[in-house]
Structure 1
Amino acid sequence: MTRHKLIIVDGIPGSGKSTLSEMISNELNKQEIKNIFYHELTKDHPLFIHERKFTTFKDQGEANYYFNRVVELFNRFVDLHKNEPEIIIIESILFQDTLSFAYNMGMEPSMIEELFNLLVDILNRLNPVLIYIYQFDVRRNWEMIGKIRGVEWIPSLHTPEGLDEAERDWKPNQEFIKSLVEEWEIPKLIIENKDYLWEQYNERTKYFLRANSMLSENIT
């Protein structure tokens, strides 16, 4: 059986992806398992489109450019890592920063599904596993991260109207993305974050990785 070479951690903004990904990388390091962690903010991230800004995917030209460029970047990324020994960890980039972004920019759902299916075919070459953090209360999520990151991050999150808008935009977005997550037939852990029990979620994540032979049993 081909070993898993890719760990994908994803969810809506502020859901805990970065912290969970860092924990995974640290656990792999403890066991001297080589890994590369691509944080969302990694400089010159190989899966981001750096050369162009987009305004709306209701413009078919913009939508087509984005679609084709994303496929090109993901193909290049897999070609780069498929023969390397390291386990790769990516957070945010597949769902939040690629498919959720397309959804919020007005791309047709059928086109997003087509893009998702192409990316699945590409990433399956790395035999991935997926950890998806699902927020039960989207409004509470945005309220909490607004408090943590401060007024200067997104000022509107400190007003009832701004929180209403964040919930209105991201609740249907999350449901659409979760439907795609559930379609993907790979080992996956969906963390339904209702009570913010992060010690428990960390342990569930380590158990999941051990069950898929990515961590051994001798370190907890």
Structure 2
Amino acid sequence: MLKTQLILVEGIPGSGKSTLAQFLAHTLTCSGIACRWWYEEEKGHPLYVFHDLVSLQHTIDELSAGHYQVVVEAALEKWREFAQNLQISESIMILDGCLYSYLTWSLFPLDIPDVETQRYLRQVEHILQPLHPCLIYLYQQDLAHALERICGRRGSETRERLITWATESPYGKRRGLQGFDGMVTYWQNYRALIDAEFARFNGSKLGVENAAGEWKTYEQNVLDFLDLLREENVAGEPSFSQAKFVGTYSFEEGNCHVLLEKNQLLIDGIPLIWQRTKLIPRARNIFAVESLPFQIVFEEDSHRSITGMRVTGPELLQGKVDRLFLRKK
């Protein structure tokens, strides 16, 4: 494998950062390589200057009040501590959305001068040099089409949130950005800044244009870049009938559903999980939730009939996912 202790996966919201990070974590584990994937919304993230939604809001307030330099210095100190701890570790760290997303996504909408963002990024790169970081950048040539697909996949709530984020920000208001087109312009301008930083990045890096959604090809490109082999058991091809898991499952807040479409299991209706999210088979009755650090274990009775499913995973800033869902008859 390529010499590195840190793999960075970057891209705009919905570009597949977490999907790729999850794949890499599973591949490394199956290859016997110790690793840790920190999902970007995971509580206790070693790089974040906040630890819950209250402290996150405080950080946003500090930035909005113009105190961005204080936040930047606090973030840099977190990067230094992170790098020092990782250097004495025998594990590889996988981070999605931390270099070009975390903090940068806050500085840009506040219309902080690009030179300040560039200075911050270059300081982070200097801190990370001893780790020989590998940077994987997911991008799309036709950004408007990519954003349309992302919003379609994640639903109207995501669409409205992204539009509001872009157009109601100081950056958007000062430029008169409006609606979906304004949101596209926002991300195009952001991309211009990040594209330039990626081109300048002095280290191992790979750009992947992934608009076509051909993930097997993209995964192989990344494995070749990292000098990794695709293990047979990484592919996750089920050797059992998936139809037995299909059904309605109940929990305190209501019902959720497991669906089977084109030989692919989907989960829909679980809090903290995107609508119609794919389930990736890992072992008998055990699935990973695509793009999320969650696991689903289907429980069965003595006749091997499915009676429920248990969802487990780390706590996110928005709350816990752990709970048992009972299958409805």
For the aligned pair, the TM-score class normalised by the smaller chain equals 0.7 to 0.9
Structure 1's consecutive aligned runs of 4 or more residues displaced over 6 angstroms after TM superposition are none
Instruction: Describe the superposition over 1:40-63 as per-residue Cα deviations: whole angstroms up to 9, x where unpaired.
Output: 121221212213332585754x12
**Corresponding residue for residue 317 of structure 2:** none
Q: Give ranges in structure 1 of 5+ residues lacking alignment.
A: none
**Corresponding residue for residue 30 of structure 2:** 30
Alignment pair present for 1:89 and 2:106: no
Farther off after superposition, 98-107 or 112-121: 98-107
Percent of aligned pairs with the same amino acid:
26
Q: Of the candidates 116, 131, 137, which is equivalent to residue 121 of structure 2?
A: 116
Instruction: Describe the superposition over 1:52-100 as per-residue Cα deviations: whole angstroms up to 9, x where unpaired.
Output: 332585754x121121111111111112211100000000011012223
Alignment pair present for 1:147 and 2:152: yes
Q: Of the candidates 180, 183, 194, which is equivalent to residue 200 of structure 2?
A: 183
Q: Distance in 2 between matches of 1:148 and 1:128?
A: 31
Q: Distance in 1 between matches of 2:14 and 2:114?
A: 24
Instruction: Report the Cα offset of residue 156 of structure 1.
Output: 6.1
Alignment pair present for 1:163 and 2:180: yes
Instruction: Report the Cα offset of residue 110 of structure 1.
Output: 0.9
TM-score by length of 2: 0.60
**Corresponding residue for residue 217 of structure 2:** 200
Partner-residue secondary structure (3-state), 2:134: strand
Partner-residue secondary structure (3-state), 1:131: strand
CA contact (8 A) 2:49 2:74 kept: yes
Partner-residue secondary structure (3-state), 2:209: strand
Instruction: Report the Cα offset of residue 122 of structure 1.
Output: 0.6
CA contact (8 A) 1:142 1:163 kept: no
Q: Give ranges in structure 2 of 5+ residues lacking alignment.
A: 164-177, 233-329
Return the letter of the residue paired with 2:186.
D
CA contact (8 A) 1:55 1:105 kept: no
**Corresponding residue for residue 7 of structure 1:** 7
Taking structure 1 as reference, are residues 96 and 126 closer, same or farther at Cα in structure 2, changes over 3 Å only?
same
TM-score by length of 1: 0.88
Aligned-residue RMSD, C-alpha: 2.2
Higher helix share: 1
**Corresponding residue for residue 313 of structure 2:** none
**Corresponding residue for residue 138 of structure 2:** 133
CA contact (8 A) 2:138 2:208 kept: yes
Taking structure 1 as reference, are residues 157 and 107 closer, same or farther at Cα in structure 2, changes over 3 Å only?
closer
Farther off after superposition, 40-49 or 14-23: 40-49
CA contact (8 A) 1:99 1:177 kept: no
Taking structure 1 as reference, are residues 218 and 201 closer, same or farther at Cα in structure 2, changes over 3 Å only?
closer
**Corresponding residue for residue 21 of structure 2:** 21
Partner-residue secondary structure (3-state), 2:104: helix
Partner-residue secondary structure (3-state), 1:96: coil
Instruction: Describe the superposition over 1:119-173 as per-residue Cα deviations: whole angstroms up to 9, x where unpaired.
Output: 0001112111110011212222221121211223343669xx6321220111010
Return the letter of the residue paired with 2:97.
S
CA contact (8 A) 2:10 2:137 kept: yes
CA contact (8 A) 1:129 1:187 kept: yes
CA contact (8 A) 2:223 2:230 kept: no
CA contact (8 A) 1:56 1:106 kept: no
The structure having more radius of gyration, on CA atoms, is 2
Taking structure 1 as reference, are residues 193 and 121 closer, same or farther at Cα in structure 2, changes over 3 Å only?
same
Partner-residue secondary structure (3-state), 1:177: helix
CA contact (8 A) 1:56 1:105 kept: no
